[in-house]
Amino acid sequence: MNEDPITSNEAIKRADYAREKGEVVLREHEYDGIQEFDQKLPNWWLFTLWAAIAVFLTYYLVYYTLDLLPSSKESMDQRVTEIEELKQAELQKLLESMNDDTLVNTFSTNPDFVAKGKDTYIQNCAACHAADLGANGGMTGRPLNDGEWAYGSEPMNIFKMILHGTPADSKGYKQGMRMAPMGGAQLSPEQVAQVTAFLIDSNPNDFKSYKK
């Protein structure tokens, strides 16, 4: 049987360490019959090792030691702030274009606007106020078709009440529950305007005096 040149140990050079690229040596020591090869690491391998170390050191220096670039938390906070500002600006713009007159005579007479408001209502409000606005049975919300508006019956009062929820000193309704801003949903100011337009459209008698 031919002896394998690697395992036969004779064919292969013995040395402390490999000294040249590509050279394979068998190291001098042997423990319990276990021997160890050695060869120089290829350049591509060394390159990735040193590159990884360099990237880590640069990263550590830039982010932690010198604090030159914002951390991911800081940039997320920054984006959240920007979004908040955009929302505020949108609300501001909408509020400037809105008053009792536009809510009743422009928004609530726009079928597309009212239809979107109805969709929003069914998805976010009907659970507490009922699809038919009656809030009957054990529902927690106030009826929205009984001609009574506990927090002011002017269209803008209703818009603001939905936007901000019921006032902090409100005693709530049946179960003593107050309403969270937008009923606890995440709506844009425009969606709140649409839902208000839907409520106005559904209660024509309550807003007759604003009609032109």
Q: List residues near ligand HEC by CB under 6 A.
A: 121, 124-125, 127-129, 140-142, 144, 148-151, 158, 161-162, 166, 170, 172-173, 177-179, 182-185, 195
Select 26 or 133, whichever has its Cβ closest to ligand HEC. Answer: 133
In angstroms, give the least distance from the CB of 143 to ligand HEC: 7
Q: Please, which residues have CB within 8 angstroms of residue 2's CB and are 6 or more apart in sequence?
A: none
Distance, in Å, from the CA atom of 164 to the CA atom of 96, rounded to the nearest integer, reads 17
Question: Which residue is nearest to ligand HEC, using beta carbons?
Answer: 183
Q: Which is nearer to ligand HEC, 18 or 161 (CB)?
A: 161
Q: Which residue has the tokens 């010198």?
A: 66
Q: Which residue's structure tokens are 């937008």?
A: 182
Q: What is the Cα 124 distance to its own chain's centre?
A: 19
CB of 135 to ligand HEC, least distance (A): 8
CB of 108 to ligand HEC, least distance (A): 14
- What is d(CA 122, CA 9) in angstroms, rounded to the nearest whole number? 82
Q: How far is the CB of 54 from ligand HEC (least distance, A)?
A: 54
**Residue with Cβ nearer ligand HEC (26 or 196):** 196
CB of 136 to ligand HEC, least distance (A): 14
